[in-house]
């Protein structure tokens, strides 16, 4: 089999037989399409490293408290979903997943964006909403292919200027943080076109003072002009 979905109301561990399926490409152990269920798996076993051909691993809505270092050996992994778990940290070995382009980490207990994630050069989608993240490392600038960054419902008080180097960003959600200002070069994110598609950027729920909310609602060009006029003054 190349694709396998394991389901069950009392799912608490990965059946040992799964690790013998060395040609497996897609493994789904998530009740996302069965909203009445929540699985109880607390640990992704290190034997996951035997599934060397995995491209997609779905483990949302379990009770995962730890991801093993062996996750870093899954060199073909392209999509990893870990939302709605109990993760407070991630192993540095995840930085080895150089084919990973989609990573879902929403609704965990992360307090920081781990620096190794910023080595994932192929990443185009990153969702870390609804955690407790207070800072974004400057190394985020290395995610040069990133198109979607979701940071809603965190504890961000500021954004590093390095975020403004993510010139491929199309969608950036910053709602419900503690942001009082945006970086002066924020207007360089010219692909954020929320003037035409409001969903591409979101600031709601922040005590923004600079630029004022009415400037932010008009798009990157107005934000750029705002800071330029500030410097001239």
What domains are there in the chain, each with its CATH number? 1-96 (3.80.10.10), 110-232 (3.80.10.10)
Q: What is the pLDDT of residue 41?
A: 87
Q: Which of 165, 167, 170 is nearest to 150 (CA)?
A: 170
pTM: 0.90
Q: What is the pLDDT of residue 57?
A: 97
Q: What is the pLDDT of residue 154?
A: 96
CA–CA dist 165, 171 (Å, integer): 14
CA–CA dist 48, 67 (Å, integer): 10
The DSSP bridge partners found for residue 108 are none
Q: What is the pLDDT of residue 59?
A: 93
- How does DSSP classify residue 66? B
Tens of each residue's pLDDT in the chain, 233 residues: 699 998 776 778 888 899 999 999 999 988 765 555 566 788 899 999 999 999 999 999 889 999 999 999 999 999 999 999 999 999 999 999 999 999 999 999 999 988 888 889 999 999 999 999 999 998 999 999 999 999 999 999 999 999 999 999 998 999 999 999 999 999 888 888 665 555 556 788 899 888 888 888 777 888 888 888 865 55
Q: Which of 195, 186, 167, 190 is nearest to 230 (CA)?
A: 186
E strand intervals along the chain: 3-5, 26-28, 56-58, 79-81, 102-104, 125-127, 148-150, 171-173, 201-202
CB-based contact 113:134 (threshold 8 Å): no
């Amino acid at each position: 089999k190349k694709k396998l979905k394991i389901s069950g109301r009392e799912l608490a561990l990965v059946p040992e037989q799964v690790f013998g399926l060395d040609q497996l490409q897609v493994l789904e152990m998530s009740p996302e399409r069965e909203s009445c269920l929540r699985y109880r798996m607390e640990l992704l076993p290190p034997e996951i490293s035997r599934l060397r051909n995995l491209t997609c691993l779905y483990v949302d809505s379990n009770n995962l408290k730890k991801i093993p270092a062996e996750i870093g050996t899954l060199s073909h992994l392209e999509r990893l979903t870990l939302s709605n778990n109990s993760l407070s940290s991630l192993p540095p070995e995840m930085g080895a997943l150089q084919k990973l382009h989609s990573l879902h980490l929403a609704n965990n207990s992360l307090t920081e964006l781990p620096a190794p994630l910023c080595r994932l050069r192929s990443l185009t989608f990153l969702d870390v909403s609804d955690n407790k993240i207070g800072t974004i490392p400057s190394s985020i600038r290395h995610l040069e292919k990133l198109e979607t960054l979701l940071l809603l419902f965190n504890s961000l008080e500021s954004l590093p200027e390095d975020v403004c180097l993510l010139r491929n960003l199309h969608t950036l959600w910053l709602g419900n943080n503690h942001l009082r200002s945006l970086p002066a070069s924020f207007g360089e994110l010219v692909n954020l076109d929320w003037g035409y598609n409001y969903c591409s950027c979101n600031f709601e729920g922040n005590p923004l003072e600079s630029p004022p909310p009415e400037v932010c609602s008009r798009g990157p060009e107005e934000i750029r002009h705002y800071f330029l006029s500030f410097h001239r003054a």
